[in-house]
Amino acid sequence: MGQAQTEQQRRQYLEAMGIQTWSLRQPQSQSTDDTQEFVESVAAQTIQTKLVAPVEKQGIELPAVATDWPGLQAEASVCARCELSQYRHQTVFGTGNRNADWLIIGEAPGAEEDAQGEPFVGPSGKLLNQMLLAIGLKREEVYIANIVKCRPVDDRDPRAAEAAACEPYLKQQIALIQPKVIFAVGRIAAQNLLKSEQKVGDMRGQRFKYGETKIPLIVSYHPAYLLRMPSAKRKAWQDLLLARQILNNE
């Protein structure tokens, strides 16, 4: 694809977000790792044996999660750590480049995500793709996950106990990816990652660090909110630029 055509597409993505366009430097492309495969074997059978009912109701200590991609995904696929497991069609583990510099973290799967097993596939996902393309990133160049991996009933907010039960999976994903920046979209993601009760509007525009890892973390609005409040898209664009600036300065 020629440079002129690429620039034209970038401008179209920005216009779709309601952002005035100007020239941007193209970041180096990320290498993708498509060699990992989904594994459901001994780990899955072990978890099914140990976790017959939500453990938060059993009052027992949660077991440690696997430390490699196949084992981690296998465990998550049959997880029964909280009551969300009783209503899901499937877990939504995460998707993208497992060696990515960017880690995008949202709230929870919705109906479409629960059906397809992939995060951000509905209207919010389409807008997220446009946002990434606007700064020169393709969806497959980043990694995308959620605070919880099962859809809450009626798309309600995940409860604190549910987020806590799912946290070991996300922590291990972060440890395996080792991203250079975390982009938290929405209140649920930001508050759980930062252990804060602040509003998104009060957290955005700042550089945080995620836990003991000290990975830079930027807070922004959830794409679903941007679809309801298009006037906030410019602020989300500023958040993307801040995250990219931090990444470029590392």
The CATH code that applies to domain 93-249 is 3.40.470.10
Q: For tokens 């995060």, name the residue.
A: 119
Q: What is the DSSP string of 212-237?
A: GGTEEEEEE--HHHHHH-GGGHHHHH
Residue with tokens 């179209």: 12
Domain ranges of the chain: 93-249
Tell me the pTM: 0.80
CA dist., res. 221 & res. 223, Å (int): 6
Residue with tokens 């780990």: 43
* Residues near 154 by beta carbon (within 8 Å), at least 6 away in sequence: none
Asked if 152 and 114 touch (Cβ cutoff 8 Å), the reply is no
Helices (H), the chain: 3-16, 42-50, 55-58, 69-77, 111-116, 123-134, 160-177, 187-194, 200-203, 223-228, 233-249
95-121 residue pLDDT tens: 999 999 999 999 999 999 999 999 999
Residue with tokens 């830079």: 216
pLDDT tens across the length of the chain (250 residues): 555 555 666 666 566 566 655 444 444 444 434 334 333 333 333 333 333 344 444 444 566 789 999 999 999 999 999 999 999 999 999 999 999 999 999 999 999 999 999 999 999 999 999 999 999 999 999 999 999 999 999 999 999 999 999 999 999 999 999 999 999 999 999 999 999 999 999 999 999 999 999 999 999 999 999 999 999 999 999 999 999 999 998 6
